[in-house]
Chains A and B, each alone.
Chain A
Amino acid sequence: MRAPDLELLRQAQQGDEGAFHELADRHASGLYRLAVALVGNTADAEDIVQETFLAALQGMGAFRRRSSVKTWLYRILSKRAARCHRTRLRHAASPLYDDAEEPGRGVGRGAGPSASGATDTRLDVTEILQGLSTDHRRVIVLRELEGLSYAEIAEVLGLPLGTVESRIARARKELRMRLDGYLG
């Protein structure tokens, strides 16, 4: 029976290195997927996940158990991803997700050509997801892919509950318009 996240964090706070590594094993994949969805490329996603756990290591002494460990980690990652996104926006010569000359740059089309229609659908969905605004993409990924509740999303992103609710509804509306051909 595996120890709950809070127990592992408590052990890590007392110097148990193995406990922190176990927390990393548990949450790294989910954080990585979220990072990829937020920043659109695997290299930045890996850096962001590393930075997230390093920040968690430095700041775990101040963790006050007002949220779950998962939400706490997601919150750190969300801030790191936002910073990465702002940095790239400042240095990018062209918009990140609206590049007509390089359709599907990033994790979408980069997966390689495939004759399978299902794979094409997946890639199209990925590309459309990456094409959402940052605000919409963050809430949709946290809700649809990570299964966080509205309250957890509000805590991760530092938003009021009502804002989370309305952004999810608007993001879905936008996605339905873009994915109209796939919804039947």
Chain B
Amino acid sequence: MEEKPTSVCRYRGKLSSYYDGELPQSELVEIESHLADCRGCSAELEQLKRLSGLLRGAYLPAMPGGALARLHSRVGSAREAVVVRLAERLMAVAATVLVVCGLWLWQANGVRRRYDVSLGGWEIAAMTLGVEDAQHVSPEELLTQWIVTDLSAEEQK
């Protein structure tokens, strides 16, 4: 007598997820009800459990103590390297700020000296002579005063 091929139960494809507890509640109830009546699916589920047992016994070595120590050492070195790099960057920024400030101060000082040299005695006299004083003095006398002040300044040098 020819045997009819066993049809695969329509729930068979869900057994793996059921076994892992990953089915939504509605499907879970349905499959559990089905398992009570389906020897094929029950046997399949049993095979999945045995497979898990075999896999958990696979030879996967634990991490050796030396490897863990090397890991900690490398992590420690990496952290130190990060701190050193940060310190180097801060120092570079500080040095740049110092150089820029120094250049700025040097330039400002140079400008002041240029103005000091270029100001003649008559110009200083002209600037220091008050407006009120200038109003009572004729332009010729003013000019004479500036010249005298300028010459005096030159002599003092």
Contact = CB atoms under 8 A, between A and B. Distances in A.
Interface of A: 17, 20-21, 24-25, 28-29, 32-33, 36-37, 42, 46, 49-50, 53-54, 57-58, 107-108, 111, 118, 121-123, 125-126, 129, 140, 143-145, 149-150, 165, 168-169, 172, 175-176, 179, 182-184
Given A122-B58, A125-B59, A165-B22, 8 more contacts: A25-B68, A28-B63, A29-B68, A32-B62, A57-B79, A165-B16, A168-B20, A175-B51
Given A46-B67, A121-B54, A144-B52, A29 B62 contact: yes
Chain B interface, DSSP helix/strand/loop, else mixed = helix
Contacts of B61: 33, 36, 42, 107
Contacts of A25: 68
Contacts of B79: 17, 20, 57
A162 to B, nearest CB: 10
Contacts of A143: 20
Contacts of A20: 75, 79
B17 A24 contact: no
Chain A interface, DSSP helix/strand/loop, else mixed = helix
Interface in B94-142: none
Interface string B17-55: 100101000000000000000000000000110111011
B22 to A, nearest CB: 5
Contacts, number: 111
B: contact size bracket = 20 to 34
A53 B71 contact: yes
Interface of B: 13, 16-17, 20, 22, 47-48, 50-52, 54-64, 67-68, 70-72, 74-76, 78-79, 82
Contacts of B17: 150, 165, 169
Nearest to A32: B63
B20 A17 contact: no
A179 B57 CA distance: 13
- From A21, A107, A125, name the one whose CB has the most chain B CB atoms within 10 angstroms: A125
Contact of B55 (A17, A49, A145): A145
A111 B61 CA distance: 9
Contacts of B56: 144-145
B13 to A, nearest CB: 7
7 contacts: A20-B79, A33-B60, A36-B60, A50-B71, A126-B59, A165-B16, A175-B51
A125 B57 contact: yes
Contacts of A183: 47, 50-51, 54
